[in-house]
């Protein structure tokens, strides 16, 4: 899988495996072999000791939501039931698409969509889990769910 299957603006990176891992159901970060620093999003080079020796590590577990917001005009690939309407000319009210940042127990943070919970039920401190998802068009993303 190419990195463009995760990011629409980047076609290639030293971390192409990240999208492959997501497609296989794993959210991965990296750990520096030299100093032990942990990273998510994954890094190819350590920003603390400048080493390029990094190990992939799977990130699992629940975490607490530390912040969230909603996007009222979602990206084309996020299905909210208004596929045939074209902004800015449509007078339809779009369904809010909440996104948030989840702090895991190990201190790393993961951003993802929160599609299965009503916006009024989302609050800072909510316990969620990050899950990789493959969308109908083949791209991969991360969703936060309870």
Same domain, residue pair 47 and 91:
no
Last residue of a domain, one of 19, 37, 59: 59
| Nearest alpha carbon to residue 85 among 33, 76, 62 | 76
Q: pLDDT band at 12, cuts 50/70/90? A: low
Our count of domains for the chain comes to 2
pLDDT band at 89 (very low <50, low <70, confident <90, very high): very low
Is the model more confident about 2 or about 63?
Answer: 63
CATH of the domain at 104: 2.40.50
pLDDT tens digits, 116-136: 888 899 999 999 999 998 888
pLDDT (average), residues 90-95: 54
- Integer Cα distance of 138 and 85 in angstroms: 23
> Do 132 and 110 sit in the same domain of this protein?
yes
First to last CA, the chain: 28
Name the residue among 1, 20, 11, 6 with its Cα closest to residue 142.
6
Query: Which tokens in the block code for residue 65?
Result: 């939501």
CA atoms of 75 and 64, how far apart (whole Å): 25
Contacts of 78 (CB under 8 A, 6+ apart): 97, 113, 115
pTM of the complete model: 0.74
19 and 2 Cβ atoms separated by less than 8 Å: yes
């Amino acid at each position: 899988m190419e990195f463009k299957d995760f990011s629409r603006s980047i076609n290639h990176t030293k971390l192409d495996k990240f999208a492959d891992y997501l497609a296989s159901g794993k959210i991965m970060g990296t750990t520096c072999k030299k100093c032990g620093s942990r990273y998510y999003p994954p890094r190819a080079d350590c920003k603390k000791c400048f080493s390029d020796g990094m190990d992939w590590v799977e990130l699992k577990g629940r975490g607490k939501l530390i912040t969230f917001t909603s996007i009222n005009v979602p990206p084309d690939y996020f299905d909210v039931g208004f596929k045939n309407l074209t902004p800015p000319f449509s007078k339809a009210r779009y369904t809010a698409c909440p996104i948030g940042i989840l702090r895991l127990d190990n201190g790393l943070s993961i951003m993802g969509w929160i599609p299965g919970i009503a916006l009024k039920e989302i609050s800072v401190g909510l316990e969620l889990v990050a899950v990789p998802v493959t969308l109908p068009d083949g791209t991969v993303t991360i969703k936060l769910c309870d």
